[in-house]
């Protein structure tokens, strides 16, 4: 795997989302139920932010905000960095490392087509390395 589109094809294009006026408690429950570390925040179908476990800890808990009273829009990361499906996995890893983010929404034009996590990209890189090793073994053995 070399491109984001391949990661999306492999993992699926299901993106879990929440509305900005939902409570943080609703968001945390949704993340727990889906076993994910982030949700995209959509308003009228448009991407306006991302809420992550890190946002909850740093902008919610550390500020003494009550999860059942605080709205997602209060602690979400607004205007998140996005990538295109045609981007390479390596470039996405650089973006995540440089910008210290763990989740990148994938946008083609104005359409949200997926979400990749750092874990998704690490898995893809490991798979690519396994394939390279196998090809080298086959080459040496022939």
User: How many other CB atoms sit within 10 Å of the CB of residue 106?
Assistant: 23
> How does pLDDT run along the chain (142 residues), one tens digit per residue?
799 999 999 998 899 999 999 999 999 999 999 999 999 999 999 999 999 999 999 999 999 999 999 999 999 999 999 999 999 999 999 999 999 999 999 999 889 999 999 999 999 999 999 999 999 999 999 8
Domains of the chain in sequence order? 4-141 (3.10.580.10)
Q: Is 47 helix (H, G, I), strand (E, B) or coil?
A: strand
Q: Is 82 helix (H, G, I), strand (E, B) or coil?
A: coil
Q: Alpha-carbon distance 14 to 36, whole Å?
A: 12
Tokens of 117: 């996590």
pLDDT of residue 142: 82
pLDDT of residue 7: 95
pLDDT of residue 28: 97
pLDDT of residue 1: 75
| β-pairing verdict for 17-18 and 46-52 | unpaired
């Amino acid at each position: 795997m070399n491109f984001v589109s391949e990661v999306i094809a492999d993992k699926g294009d299901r993106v879990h989302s929440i509305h900005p006026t939902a409570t943080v408690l609703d968001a945390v429950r949704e993340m727990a139920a889906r076993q994910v570390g982030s949700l995209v925040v959509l308003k009228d179908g448009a991407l306006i932010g991302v809420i992550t476990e890190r946002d909850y800890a740093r902008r919610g808990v550390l500020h003494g905000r009550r999860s059942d009273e605080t709205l997602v829009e209060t602690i979400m990361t607004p205007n998140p960095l996005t990538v295109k499906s045609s981007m390479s996995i390596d470039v996405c890893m650089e973006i995540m490392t440089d910008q210290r983010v763990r989740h990148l929404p994938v946008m083609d034009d104005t359409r949200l087509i997926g979400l990749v996590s750092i874990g998704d990209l690490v898995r893809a890189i490991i798979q690519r390395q396994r394939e390279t090793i196998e090809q080298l073994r086959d080459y040496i053995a022939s």
